[in-house]
Structure 1
Amino acid sequence: MITVLPGPRTPTAAEGQREAALATCTDYHGSPFNPSPCAASFLQCFACRNAISSRDHLPAQLALLDELAAHWEGMDREVWWRRFGQAWLALTEDILPRFTPAELEAAARDKPSGTVLDPLEGPLEETWI
């Protein structure tokens, strides 16, 4: 499960870490999903013990929630839950509740305007878990 830090992430990633819009990976070569290096979808970061989420990730995470909500409309519910359910639950139950309303408001103002999901999701026929 993703680790949530209350403050901003460390400005410089430590040796072996990979930085992404949605989380920081602390062990790119120690993936629980596949042999090294990690080849998992970024959506899998929400279920990964190697992932760290911080306040700096909130704008992209809020944009992702908007996109997941948009996919909820017009998509088969079973398919939606299989593809996006773990990320949705991690965001709404584990990550967002750890931040203050002021932090969430600031992140909402800084949300990226473009899509964050499509580049993260990978081929549409794949499921992420």
Structure 2
Amino acid sequence: MRIKRGVTTKAKHKRILEAAKGYFGRRKNTIRIARQAVEKAGQYAYRDRKVRKRSFRAIWIQRINAAVREQGLTYGVFMHGLTLTSIELDRKVLADIAMHEPDTFRAIVAQVQSALDAKVAA
């Protein structure tokens, strides 16, 4: 008696072709090409989950830097001042405050500035 593998093969192919839904040309309906496309898409997705975190951090830093320079400081000096004042806000929150609540951000910068001035005086 021979072993027939049609059911398992069909299930494997179906899984790949479902993942390739929306692709153009033979990438969506030819199993060999669809498998390559789905594998590559998975590689891009894995890589770009890491890249997304880097990109957001870069955006937050740019926004903080722009807001701080309006107050006459630089990003690096400002972040150093935050550690001196022991204000523990992360870059995401700081960028959000800088964009949506400029008065609050000015108050934070004022605290940082006073801490920096105290350090220089000491």
| TM-score band w.r.t. shorter chain | under 0.3
Whichever structure has more strand as a proportion of its residues is 1
Superposition TM-score, scaled by structure 2 size? 0.22
Structure number, greater radius of gyration: 2
Higher relative contact order (CA 8 A, sep 6+): 1
Question: If each structure's helix is expressed as a fraction of its own residues, which one has the higher value?
Answer: 2
